[in-house]
Structure formats: C-alpha cells, structure tokens
Amino acid sequence: MPHIRTLMIWGGLGLATAIPLIAAGQSPLLAWRSPVYIAAGFAGVVGLVLILLQPLLIGGYLPGLSQTRRRRLHRIVGTLLLIMVIAHVAGLWITSPPDVVDALTFTSPTSFSAWGVIAMWMVFLAALLGLVRRRWPWRLRSWRLAHTATVMVIVTGTVVHALLIQGTMGTLSKTILCLLALIALAKVIFDRRVWRSGLRLGG
C-alpha cells in the first residue's frame, strides 16, 4: 500500500504539472508569435509549476525524499523560479518594452499586470531572505514569518495574475494548477502552525 500511495502522489503531481505545459504548447495563441515571446510565456507556465512544488517540498508531502534532499531541492527550485521570473519578464521586455514599463510602473490598463509585478518583487525578496538566512540577526522564527508572508504574496499574486490573463494555458488546467498551489501553501502553513504550538489534530 505505501508503494501505491507513493505512485499516486508522484503520478498526480506529474499530471498536474504536465497537462498545463502540454495545453500551453498546443495553444492557438502561439500562432504567429515570435520564439522569444513563446519562451517568455513558457517561462511563466514553468514558474507556476515550480510555485506548486515549493510547499510540497518544504512540507514533506512528497514521499521518498529525505529532509536533507527536500531542503536541497527547495533551494534549487527556488533558484529555478527566480530564473523563470527573470526570463519571463526579459522575454516580454524584448517583444514589447512599453507594456513592461507600464506594468513595472503600475500604469498598465490590465489588472493582471500589477499582480504579476507584485509577485515578481516578492520572488526577489524571498530569494534575498534565503541568502541572508544564516546571517539573520533576529530569532529564526521571525525569519520564518517573513519568508512565509513573502511566499503568501507570491502565490496569491501569481494565481490572480494567471487566472486573469488570457494566456496560452488552458483555462481548466490553469485553474486546477492554481488551486493546487493555494491548497499546498495553506496546508504547509497550517501544519507548521500546529507543529509550533505543540498541538495534535483531533485533540
């Protein structure tokens, strides 16, 4: 039974990540688009997938991974997320600089742009917090609170950005992926709160 559960978890994760990528690759919106624009769009899709992976790793919900490996993968995925965000914005800048300027200055007429920019800056802040963790001058709990608050903004901003934009991802696959990211984040926050308070579910 444990092996079946492991296969189901990893299989479900594989489907949740592969289907949006496949749907994006088959989107009619890619017609007549430049390679740079397509690459920027896929960087955004991959970034959303990585956002789902992060709470699953840090929460220990993926079977077969030791704590050391989970933490190492969490750092690697965080670095990849940062790269995807930069690639996403850089690609859009190359294809349409005025739109990116409007987004960065919060003057874009499209509401999804503001949410994306907020999430982007929070990704940068989360990366900075990761770098200074060992040099954090205050209690570790305060670092965790700061990091968690940052991640909450990242996930919320990214989900709203993804749901509002009419991009290459299929509506259903995009919605499911966003919901999974929100659920995974909520679960890891709740589980860690329960662990810190010393309580046990069910009394």
How many percent of the chain have pLDDT more than 90? 61
CA angle 173, 101, 168 (to 5 degrees): 15
Looking at the predicted structure, is the pLDDT value of residue 171 above 90? no
- Which class is 2-197 in CATH? mainly alpha
Per-residue pLDDT band for 200 (boundaries 50, 70, 90) equals very low
**Higher-pLDDT residue of 201, 108:** 108
Could you count the other beta carbons within 10 Å of the beta carbon of residue 12?
Answer: 11
Segment 18-42 mean pLDDT: 87
Pairwise CA distance, residues 24 & 88, whole Å: 15
**Higher-pLDDT residue of 171, 184:** 184
Per-residue pLDDT band for 2 (boundaries 50, 70, 90) equals low
Segment 28-50 mean pLDDT: 89
Q: 151 and 189 in contact (C-beta within 8 Å)?
A: no
Identify the pLDDT of residue 149. Answer: 93
Identify the pLDDT of residue 61. Answer: 92
Pairwise CA distance, residues 163 & 115, whole Å: 11
Distances (CA, A) of 124 to 44, 88, 117, 140, 174: 15, 14, 11, 20, 24
Identify the pLDDT of residue 167. Answer: 75
Give me the phi and psi of 199, to 5 degrees please.
-85, 170
Average pLDDT, the chain: 89
Distances (CA, A) of 97 to 102, 104, 105, 122, 191: 9, 11, 12, 22, 43
Segment 117-129 mean pLDDT: 96
Segment 114-125 mean pLDDT: 96
Per-residue pLDDT band for 195 (boundaries 50, 70, 90) equals very low
Distances (CA, A) of 181 to 62, 139, 169, 176: 14, 28, 16, 9
How many percent of the chain have pLDDT more than 70? 94
Segment 20-46 mean pLDDT: 88
**Taking the alpha carbons of 166, 77, 92, 40 in that order, is the dihedral positive or negative?**
negative
State pLDDT tens for residues 124-169.
999 999 899 888 887 878 888 899 999 999 999 999 999 998 877 8
Domain boundaries, the chain: 2-197
DSSP string, 125-172: HHHHHHHTGGG-SS-HHHHHHHHHHHHHHHHHHHHHHHHHS--SS-HH
Segment 85-108 mean pLDDT: 95
